[in-house]
């Protein structure tokens, strides 16, 4: 009996390619997400006044939670888990709300509100099968489009040297040199490379950029030397407190993040698998994300979400093998259990990350456009997309415009154009009359016919008036005779 052939395709979700081929493809996912994973706990630690030990713990558990949530989503359990080629981890979209809550109630207030927010996210996941029709391509595509557009400033900040424009050396020529060399390498590898080199263009660019950074003295290994080899997470390292205003703010951002998850998962299936997102996959993704967010609160990890930059990598390379992404989740898991490994990954300079990911963010934008054109570009749909873009990007560029609004509103929409876009697109899709291109064409034809009839009536009236005038003239002449 012939031996069954093993599926080794990297373009099949169930494919299991050789380790040598899968390794570079998975590493580029890790390198693309690592800065986004460690930045939220760093920011939150500064806001709540955490000690050095607490700061390191928050970073470690964030990396560990990202690995666990990714593996959980890839393989799933019962109805939980999207079982799609998507990367999940501690999300950046929550940062404005976390900062607002943390500044008032501390880390305990954040984790307590997060617990309730995660439960609400699971409720949304359960009922999404009944309200899926409320998120057509025009809504999901708008969210994905704004996700891509909102990431550009992050990429440019990284290219200039830091996520903070006030950081020392920000914008120096040496940073741009490294970033542009990295970007150029990614472009060359993706457009002129062959085989694994073409598919691993992101990591090829990062290796070249990292090597150049080493030669220029931009890499420091001090954090690696100081980090321990193994650290096991503890249950309830921080207390949980429950405050009404904090819970409301967190529940709102968790529900809004569910819309972003819909957009990211839709972009994954459309961009990487060339098909629409199934309701079962969406339900599992939201349920799984809610569960990991809830459980993370007990270990000190911040809320989890989909990683849009990794969605862009999937759309760019079409590599959807679960084994490849599981390796990435395994690396994150290892980094979370070994602070030294995690510290090594964090030595990658910001310009290298920015140069490698700016093209990925562009792919996310194009995936959003691809989603939008799946639906017809009627005047109604263009109004929805245009207004959502205008309000979301406008408010994000002028945050002072909402400075007089209540703090909880500012904390929800102030730092994330994705939230404004999601609310706007969702609401307009509900309230605007559903007029298709065919309806618009019929309306124009009716207007044209009405104009023709009006013109005909006017012409007939003019002719009748002229005839009457001529008859009156003839009668007058006869009378004078």
Q: pLDDT tens digits, residue range 321-362?
A: 999 999 999 999 988 888 777 677 778 788 988 888 788 777
pTM score, two decimals? 0.71
66-79 average pLDDT score: 94
Q: For tokens 């698998």, what's the residue?
A: 273
Q: Is the pLDDT of residue 109 over 60?
A: yes
Distance CA 46, CA 98 (A): 12
Q: Is the pLDDT of residue 1 over 50?
A: no
130-137 average pLDDT score: 82
pLDDT tens for 55-69 read 778 888 999 999 999
Distance CA 115, CA 103 (A): 18
97-106, 283-292, 301-310, 377-386: segment of lowest average pLDDT: 97-106
E strand or H helix that includes residue 326: helix 322-337
Distance CA 210, CA 207 (A): 5
- CA–CA distances in Å: residue 91 to residues 33, 95, 347, 390: 10, 8, 21, 24
Q: For tokens 């390794």, what's the residue?
A: 23
């Amino acid at each position: 009996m012939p031996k069954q052939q093993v599926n080794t395709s990297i373009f099949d979700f169930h494919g299991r390619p050789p380790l040598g081929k899968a390794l570079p493809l998975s590493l580029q996912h890790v390198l693309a997400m690592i800065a986004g994973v460690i930045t939220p706990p760093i920011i939150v630690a500064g806001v709540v006044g955490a000690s050095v030990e607490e700061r390191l713990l928050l970073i470690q558990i964030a990396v560990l939670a990202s690995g666990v949530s990714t593996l959980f989503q890839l393989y799933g359990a019962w109805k939980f888990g999207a079982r799609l080629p998507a990367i999940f981890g501690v999300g950046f979209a929550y940062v404005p709300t976390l900062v607002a809550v943390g500044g008032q109630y501390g880390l305990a207030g954040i984790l307590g509100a997060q617990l309730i927010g995660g439960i609400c996210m699971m409720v949304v996941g359960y009922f999404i099968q009944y309200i899926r029709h409320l998120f057509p391509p025009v809504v999901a595509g708008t969210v994905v489009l704004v996700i891509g557009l909102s990431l550009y400033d992050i990429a440019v900040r990284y290219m200039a040297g830091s996520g903070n424009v006030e950081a020392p050396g920000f914008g120096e020529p040496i940073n741009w040199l490294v970033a542009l060399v990295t970007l150029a390498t990614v472009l060359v590898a993706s457009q002129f490379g062959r085989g694994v080199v073409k598919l691993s263009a992101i990591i090829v660019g990062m290796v070249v950029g990292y090597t150049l950074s080493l030669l220029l003295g931009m890499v420091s290994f001090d954090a690696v030397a100081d980090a321990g080899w193994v650290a096991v997470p503890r249950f309830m390292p921080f207390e949980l407190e429950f405050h009404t205003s904090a819970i409301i703010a967190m529940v709102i951002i968790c529900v809004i993040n569910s819309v972003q998850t819909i957009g990211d998962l839709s972009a994954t299936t459309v961009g990487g698998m060339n098909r629409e997102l199934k309701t079962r996959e969406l339900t599992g993704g939201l349920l799984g994300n809610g569960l990991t967010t809830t459980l993370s609160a007990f270990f000190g990890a911040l809320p989890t979400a989909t990683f849009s930059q990794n969605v862009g990598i999937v759309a760019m390379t079409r590599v959807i093998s679960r084994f490849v992404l599981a390796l990435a989740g395994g690396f994150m898991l290892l980094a979370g259990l070994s602070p030294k490994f995690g510290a090594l990954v964090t030595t990658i300079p910001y310009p290298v990350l920015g140069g490698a990911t700016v093209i990925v963010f562009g792919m996310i934008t194009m995936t959003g456009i691809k989603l939008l054109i799946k639906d017809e570009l009627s005047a109604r749909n263009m109004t929805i997309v245009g207004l959502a873009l205008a309000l979301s990007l406008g408010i994000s560029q002028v945050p002072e415009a909402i400075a007089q609004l209540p703090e909880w509103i500012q904390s929800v929409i102030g730092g994330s154009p994705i939230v404004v876009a999601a609310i706007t697109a969702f609401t307009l899709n509900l309230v605007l009359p559903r007029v298709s291109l065919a309806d618009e064409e019929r309306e124009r034809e009716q207007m044209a016919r009405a104009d023709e009839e009006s013109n005909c009536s006017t012409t007939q009236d003019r002719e009748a008036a002229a005839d009457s005038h001529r008859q009156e003239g003839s009668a007058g002449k006869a009378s004078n005779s």
